[in-house]
Amino acid sequence: MIISKTPFRISLGGGGTDLKAFYQHELGMVLSTSIDKFVYVTVKRQNNLQDQKIRISYSETENVNTIEEIKHPIIRETLKLLKINHPIEITTMSDVPAKTGLGSSSTFTVGLLNALHALKGEKLSKKELAEEAAHIEIDILKRPIGKQDHYAAAFGGLNVIEFYQDNEVKIDPLNITKVQKRDFFSNILLFYTRILRDSSSVLEEQKKETINKMDFLIDMRNQVPDLRDIIEHSDKKLSKVGSILHEGWNKKKQLSSNISNSTIDSYYKKGLNAGATGGKICGAGGGGFLMFYVEDQFKLKLRKDLSDLMELDFSSEDEGSVIIFSN
């Protein structure tokens, strides 16, 4: 039996420039951090006494005898890619619901690969793990998503991630102290809108419109060095982070008609009126978690004005995907 633990992420800037439709023309760049909310994947090699050869438990339960019968696309294609055909049981648990903008499908893919490779007695580097996870979702399953989530889940930490035309990806961790990191993350609050959405519907339109929205995306990418500079040199006033997030959110909404809606706009306006200096919807958009940057003196009012939403208490995380049990 193997158990992997893989973190979710929040993207702070540059989202959308990790799509191939963008970085095949321009350098892609995002600022992303993993958080201490996780997907746990348990894999166990079974004997031949079970009625079904493959047993899978996630939000649904599957008991089948062949890989081709598996309905869960990521599990099916991962087992095929790794040529695992012996009796097996796979179980998943998660701290956060899927379809909420924190990179759940990519986090799960990375965690599943990590666990299955460990079951085979193999250990991949974090880079290999991220590349293989991106290959499954983007190349095999043809999902219209970017690569940043796979690298955030595999590597962990607060990083600038760059995407090059030749498909090379560079991870550059921010150089900050524990105190700087604590001060920065203490001003970021996450609220669950309870709106679930399929990111593919949002990203499909965004992907098609990328070439027509290059100016917006370049501006969003160019915010990343500014955000990094402020975070690494917190004496430059961290409150500027909020205004940059706000500017990025207004540009992001121009990329697709599905990124925001009247409910999200209403909650966002409430947040600003309560004292937040900026924020954004996490992930592709359309629902999930709203993120705000707010300083201490306004947190109480913000929480009160958004009391009909559930706040997610979180902190940063630095390990990325790890194996926490191996028997």
Which band of pLDDT confidence, cut at 50, 70 and 90, is reported for residue 236? low
H-helix segments, the chain: 20-23, 73-81, 104-119, 126-134, 148-155, 178-186, 199-209, 214-232, 240-252, 262-273, 296-305
Say if residue 172 is in the same domain as residue 182. Answer: no
CATH number where 40 lies:
3.30.230.10
Quote the pLDDT of residue 96.
95
Contact 128, 40 (CB under 8 A): no
Inter-axis angle of helices 214-232 and 240-252, to 10 degrees? 160
Say if residue 182 is in the same domain as residue 172. Answer: no
pLDDT 10s digits, 57-98 = 999 999 999 999 999 999 999 999 999 999 999 999 999 999
Q: What is the pTM of this model?
A: 0.95
**45 lies in a domain?**
yes
**With the C-alpha atoms ordered 193, 198, 199, 202, is the resulting torsion angle positive or negative?**
negative
**142 lies in a domain?**
yes
CATH number where 248 lies:
3.30.70.890
Say if residue 75 is in the same domain as residue 126. Answer: yes
Domain that holds residue 213: 178-312
Quote the pLDDT of residue 221.
97
**326 lies in a domain?**
no
Q: Which of 132, 159, 176 corresponds to the end of one domain? A: 176
Name the CA dihedral angle for 148, 152, 153, 158, rounded to a multiple of 10 degrees. -160
Q: Can you tell me the distance from the alpha carbon of 55 to that of 220, in angstroms, rounded to the nearest whole number?
A: 44
SS3 17: coil
